[in-house]
Amino acid sequence: MNRSLTGALAFIVLAACGYRDRDADLVVHNAIIHSLDESESVFQAMAIKDGRIIELGAEQQIRNRYAAKETFDAAGQHVYPGFIDGHCHFFGHGLNKQKIDLQGTRSWEGAVERTLAYAHTHPGDGWILGRGWDQNQWSSKEYPDNERLNELFPDRPVLLQRIDGHAAVVNQRAMEAVGFDPSLAIEGGLMLKRDGRYTGVLIDNAVGVFQSIIDQADESTKRKALLEAQRDCFSVGLTMVCDAGLDPGTIHLIDRMQQEGVLKMRVYAMVTDSAPYLDEFAKSGALHTDRLHVNSVKVYADGALGSRGALLKAPYSDLPGHHGLQLGSRSHFLKVAEWCKQHSFQMNTHCIGDSANKLLLDVYAEVLGGTNDRRWRIEHAQVVSPADRSRFAEYSIIPSVQPTHATSDGHWAEERLGAERIDHAYAYEELRRTMGLLALGTDFPVEGIDPLQTFRSAVLREGPDGWPDGGYHVENALSRHDALRGMTIWNAIAAMLEGELGSLEADKRGDFTVVNLDLEKASPEALRKAKVTATFVNGERVH
Contact 413, 372 (CB under 8 A): no
CB 441 → Zn ion: shortest distance, Å? 8
- Residues 64-93 touching Zn ion, rule: CB under 5 A, are none
Partner residues linked to 383 by β-bridges: 425
| CB nearer Zn ion, residue 244 or residue 449 | 244
Tell me how far apart the alpha carbons of residues 314 and 356 are, in angstroms, rounded to a whole number. Answer: 12
CB 241 → Zn ion: shortest distance, Å? 12
| Selection from 158, 412, 392 nearest residue 307 by Cα | 412
Binding of Zn ion by 443 (CB under 5 A): yes
Q: Cα-Cα-Cα-Cα dihedral of 166, 403, 235, 41, to 10°?
A: -150
How many chain residues touch Zn ion (CB under 5 A)? 2
CB 244 → Zn ion: shortest distance, Å? 4
| CB nearer Zn ion, residue 304 or residue 519 | 304
CB 379 → Zn ion: shortest distance, Å? 7
Determine the 3-state secondary structure of 502 from DSSP.
coil
Q: Which residues lie closer than 8 Å to 287 by C-beta, 6 or more apart?
A: 251, 255, 281, 293, 294, 295
Contact 186, 206 (CB under 8 A): yes
Question: Is the N-terminal amide bond of 524 cis, ω within 30° of 0?
Answer: no
Tell me how far apart the alpha carbons of residues 269 and 266 are, in angstroms, rounded to a whole number. Answer: 10
CB 333 → Zn ion: shortest distance, Å? 17
Strand 346-351 with 296-300, pairing: parallel
CB 349 → Zn ion: shortest distance, Å? 11
CB 89 → Zn ion: shortest distance, Å? 6
| CB nearer Zn ion, residue 93 or residue 375 | 93
| CB nearer Zn ion, residue 35 or residue 357 | 357
CB 285 → Zn ion: shortest distance, Å? 25
- Residues 293-322 touching Zn ion, rule: CB under 5 A, are none
Helices (H) and strands (E) in the chain, counts: 22, 26
| CB nearer Zn ion, residue 208 or residue 418 | 208
| Selection from 538, 424, 542, 534 nearest residue 80 by Cα | 534
Q: How far is CA 400 from CA 77, 188, 296, 442, in A?
A: 30, 23, 14, 10
For residue 56, with 0-12 CB atoms within 10 Å meaning exposed, 13-18 middle and 19 or more buried, which class applies? buried
| CB nearer Zn ion, residue 244 or residue 496 | 244
Largest CA distance in the chain: 105
CB 20 → Zn ion: shortest distance, Å? 48
- Residues 197-216 touching Zn ion, rule: CB under 5 A, are none
Other beta carbons within 10 angstroms of residue 492's beta carbon come to 27
| CB nearer Zn ion, residue 244 or residue 325 | 244
CB 406 → Zn ion: shortest distance, Å? 15
| CB nearer Zn ion, residue 167 or residue 244 | 244
| CB nearer Zn ion, residue 86 or residue 539 | 86
Contact 536, 518 (CB under 8 A): no
- Residues 235-274 touching Zn ion, rule: CB under 5 A, are 244
| CB nearer Zn ion, residue 381 or residue 514 | 381
Q: List residues near Zn ion by CB under 5 A.
A: 244, 443
